[in-house]
Chains A and B, each alone.
Chain A
Amino acid sequence: MTTTSTPTPSAPTTLWRKATAHQLFWPVAVLVALLLVNVPFTPGFFAIHLQDGHLYGSLVSIVLFGSPLILVALGMTLVIATGGIDLSVGAVVAISGALACLVVSKQADQGSVSGVLLGFALALAVSLVLGAWNGLLVARLGIQPIIATLILMVAGRGVAQLITDGQIITVNSSAYALIGGGYWLTLPFSIFVVTAVVALTMVLTRRTALGLLVEAVGGNAEASRLVGIRSRRIKIMVYMFCGLCAGIAGLMISSNVSAADGNNAGLWIELDAILAVVIGGTSLTGGRFHLGGTIIGALIIQTLTTTIYTIGVPTQTNLVFKAAVVIIVCLLQSPAFRAKVFRSGARKPSPVPAAPAPQIEVSQ
């Protein structure tokens, strides 16, 4: 092939092109647009003020309330990258919260840090086991991921109910309330947890070879086997990681309200998480994954929820509003759609070539 140096277009065009070609451009653009929509309705939307040594403001709330979703979506990203899916994260959220609350509520002194830590440790250990269960079903028994995780999605809610004995367990523990509702260094504590987990995930996937191997397994499972990748082990690991992330999210959600509700905690969070992953640019067919994109995706979904409240969309119709925004985001992400919309007029559908009037092909 002859390689010719392409003529360099003027600098701004190149920059623009480079920017729009970037994986994160459209998700970030949508996020910014959504945030801006709020300004006319809530004039001080971007304002952040310090009160009692805590930072308050809409942006802080979005991150605070979005934290569990970011965590769940993070784990989901890796699972989806291997070509799988995990529908059970919502159930794991419920189980983890229920277990932790149960342990703490049984303590003589609910405020004791050791009791809370014990509850956390037990909840996270169980979350890991549940993730391993999913992983074994998928990787060892070869059950399709959507079915394998559906089992726990359905059964897990029952398990959570069993743990809470069908009641809502409430706890009264400031130590417990810290992870999902408390503040540290003026910021919500959950932001630190999320940052730590994100950083850990990035190191784990990009500083080791885990990310490459995950992408290989998701990109071509058979080729990966023939190249000697222990894909079962990799899959079990990512399902365990996903379970762990859901477990931490469960702690946050229950901590935020100081209660464990086996029925409603983390309900439908799996769908939001999958959506966040897809908005972030990771394909559901597996392969390449984008952690940054997932985080943006989760923030978009949380911002959307906030926006629905601030602009006063009636509660009955907020799902319709949400659906409309999601459709727009997905369309914007599609290169085929962008090509059609942004270059319409320049290209008309070509007439049937057998048409009598000869036309000349114009070079672009």
Chain B
Amino acid sequence: MAEPQAAPVLQMAGIVKEFPGVRALSGVDFRLFPGEIHALLGENGAGKSTLIKVLTGVHSLDAGTVTLEGAAVRIASPSDAQQAGISTVYQEVNLCPNLSVAENIFIGREPRRAGRIQWKQLRAEAAELVTRLGLDLDVAAPVGSYPLAVQQLVAIVRAVSVGGTKVLILDEPTSSLDRDEVQELFRLMLRLKAEGVAILFVSHFLDQIYEVCDRMTVLRNGALVGEHLTSELDQVGLVKLMIGKDLDVLEELEEHHLRPAVGEPLLAAAGLGRAGGIAPFDLEIHTGEVVGLAGLLGSGRTELARLLFGADHADSGKITIAGTTSALREPNDAIGRGVAYCSENRKTEGLVPDLTVRENIILALQAARGWTRPVPVAQRDELVAKYIQALDIRPANPEAKVSALSGGNQQKVLLARWLITQPKLLILDEPTRGIDIGAKAEIQKLVVSLSEEGMSVVYVSAELEEVLRLSHTIGVLRDRRLVARITNGPEITAGRILETIASGAHDVQDTQDSSVRSAEPSGEH
């Protein structure tokens, strides 16, 4: 794609935004042309979110100008942004699940006559809009009855249904979607692009960016690194721009899985299962072994992990940890036997947002000691400082509110929380989802070194490459069943795993596919 002829619809120049003690954006320029999909890239903390929040009126800017269609504008609030034609869809879907698709699309803007909502007109308009955008939805059905991916599409439809949307911002819309769902999203994006909407797309998945984006802007440390056409910059070059250094860290991990798993059996699950969650499975984990769990979203990866931790009740089978067999009624029982679990939902199941980094880090250790035996202050501060340094948590301020940290750093706080308790088995559910490539590499490296020190790890990830790179053994899940256990080796490739996921090693009926997909919202959320 050559330089567009048209003038940019949006131009931001010299944007500066400071928070106390931190310069989040220092003189960033950014432009967006009509009818293009533009990726905004950078590590966590590079300033992507801040730039978006400035553009959408969540943050006020300290200096710089925003020009929309040639005229300077002031965007002081999200409603200003909406009126100016800038719509945003965030990572977390903000819809009312109990209301219908049509109601959600027009919420607050229902067509009225004499104060009364014109329901027929509302549905007709919603249906027309949905059809125009090439979606097949029943607009009268409650949003909650659709899978998360479809809800995301509804959120986008709502965003563009505001008359005169010129700029659509999609902030990590794909992070919880599977491959097919991402394709559906892309179809919608391309259709909107054809209608002349400028789309700002934020994603951590580089493949997706190369698939759908025309142009990209890279930020690093709050400054503009460059704007490039996607066709003119390859992935390696892009990553170099993003992290400012080469990718050696990732490459040196490549050979890890060739090391044979040695060690005694630590955990054995026999016929462990939970109706509606995961079919009974057998699994053995040895000390120092990394067991990767691969499968599509909703395949039962998370459910399996939660059973090993006692986060959910198993209704069949038994679990043996370090020689003793007894049911896990509560996470407590598992924690007492050296099992730790980092949930895939950092915000809802991991962090206590009100509390500081220090308090969040110390929480698991303190819970294990009980309320009567507080961790001595000196020991606590020493431990916290040690892990902040070891995991390179930024800002390295134990007093900072954990909710102010970027995603990658929040994940590290959760890791620190469990590492402090020195578990025997660490269960990581999607530890690298939604975090940047630098932090990702660090976490992967950490997993390798922990395993070398004798800690067992269960590693759940949607990214096959990641599972392949780290695991000694790979458990493949499909349709809420553990269908295969593969010993990792040089001959195992992502393609092979995909085949197993696609075909299923056991007697899995293919017709189950759709029913499992639609069961996702209740199962995963």
Residues from chain B with Cβ under 8 Å of A222 in the complex: 348-349
Q: Which of B63, B222, B335, B367 contacts A363 (CB 8 A)?
A: B63
Of residues 217 to 259 in B, which have CB atoms within 8 Å of A's CB atoms? 221-223
Q: Are B348 and A234 in contact (CB under 8 A)?
A: no
**A352-364 interface bits toward B, Cβ cutoff 8 Å, 1 = contact, 0 = none:** 1111101111011
A226–B344 alpha-carbon span in the complex (Å) = 12
A31–B32 alpha-carbon span in the complex (Å) = 54
B413 vs chain A, min Cβ distance (A): 12
Q: Are A288 and B354 in contact (CB under 8 A)?
A: yes
Q: Are A227 and B16 in contact (CB under 8 A)?
A: no
**B199 CB-CB contact with A under 8 Å:** no
**B495 CB-CB contact with A under 8 Å:** no
Residues from chain A with Cβ under 8 Å of B494 in the complex: none
Residues from chain A with Cβ under 8 Å of B71 in the complex: 353-356, 358
Q: Are A224 and B352 in contact (CB under 8 A)?
A: yes
**B91 CB-CB contact with A under 8 Å:** no
Residues from chain B with Cβ under 8 Å of A228 in the complex: 331-332, 335-336, 364, 367-368
Of residues 1 to 54 in A, which have CB atoms within 8 Å of B's CB atoms? 1-6
**B51-81 interface bits toward A, Cβ cutoff 8 Å, 1 = contact, 0 = none:** 0000000001111111010011111110010
Q: Are A1 and B72 in contact (CB under 8 A)?
A: no
Residues from chain A with Cβ under 8 Å of B80 in the complex: 350, 352-353
A223/B351 contact (C-beta < 8 A), A353-B68, A361-B61, A361-B66 known: yes
**B317 CB-CB contact with A under 8 Å:** no
Q: Are A212 and B74 in contact (CB under 8 A)?
A: no
Q: Are A364 and B60 in contact (CB under 8 A)?
A: yes
A284–B84 alpha-carbon span in the complex (Å) = 36
Count A-side interface residues using an 8 Å CB cutoff: 43
Residues from chain A with Cβ under 8 Å of B364 in the complex: 227-228
Q: Are B366 and A223 in contact (CB under 8 A)?
A: no
Of residues 287 to 339 in B, which have CB atoms within 8 Å of A's CB atoms? 309, 311, 330-332, 335-336
**A335-364 interface bits toward B, Cβ cutoff 8 Å, 1 = contact, 0 = none:** 000000000000101111111101111011
A351 vs chain B, min Cβ distance (A): 8
Residues from chain B with Cβ under 8 Å of A216 in the complex: 352, 355, 359, 363
**B394 CB-CB contact with A under 8 Å:** yes
Count B-side interface residues using an 8 Å CB cutoff: 66
A14–B366 alpha-carbon span in the complex (Å) = 36
A240 vs chain B, min Cβ distance (A): 14
A353/B331 contact (C-beta < 8 A), A1-B45, A219-B353, A227-B367 known: no
Q: Are B394 and A212 in contact (CB under 8 A)?
A: no
Of residues 65 to 112 in A, which have CB atoms within 8 Å of B's CB atoms? none
Residues from chain B with Cβ under 8 Å of A227 in the complex: 331, 363-364, 367, 417
A208–B47 alpha-carbon span in the complex (Å) = 39
**A225 CB-CB contact with B under 8 Å:** yes
A229–B360 alpha-carbon span in the complex (Å) = 13
A232–B45 alpha-carbon span in the complex (Å) = 38
**A213 CB-CB contact with B under 8 Å:** yes
**A324 CB-CB contact with B under 8 Å:** no
A216–B364 alpha-carbon span in the complex (Å) = 11
In the complex formed, the residue of B with least CB distance to A213 is B371
A354–B166 alpha-carbon span in the complex (Å) = 12
A5–B21 alpha-carbon span in the complex (Å) = 6
A1–B222 alpha-carbon span in the complex (Å) = 6
Residues from chain A with Cβ under 8 Å of B332 in the complex: 228, 230
Residues from chain B with Cβ under 8 Å of A225 in the complex: 311, 330-331
A209–B372 alpha-carbon span in the complex (Å) = 6
**A215 CB-CB contact with B under 8 Å:** yes
Residues from chain A with Cβ under 8 Å of B355 in the complex: 212, 215-216, 219, 287-288
Top 3 A-B pairs, shortest CB-CB distance: A353-B73, A363-B63, A219-B352
